[in-house]
Amino acid sequence: MSLDVLAQTDPGEFLDGLKAIGAGLGYGLAAIGPGIGIGLVVGNAITAMARQPEAAGMVRTTMFLGIAFTEALALIGFVVFILIKFA
């Protein structure tokens, strides 16, 4: 089963399979960072609002900006995934 399976595939099929695996792993790893980042931003914002309720409006606005910028990283990772997959 070792190299016999590789010998039966067309030369381009093996490379396409490796591209698909690499693109999937790349996007999966690119989604981990923003997920952790958004969790940290929201957690720290909740802590800040609990400590200073009078500053909740400013903290909430800053939190949503942080979430938007962090989510942009996930979208960039998705675009790179699409470029690797279909280029």
Q: What is the pLDDT of residue 20?
A: 81
CB atoms under 10 Å from CB of 42, counted, come to: 15
Q: What is the pLDDT of residue 62?
A: 93
Could you give the domains of the chain? 33-87 (1.20.20.10)
Residue 62: which of 46, 45, 75 has the closest Cα? 45
- Per-10-residue mean pLDDT of the chain, 87 residues long, equals 61 81 81 88 94 93 92 84 76
SS3 content of the chain, % helix, strand, coil (to 5): 90, 0, 10
Name the pTM for this structure.
0.66
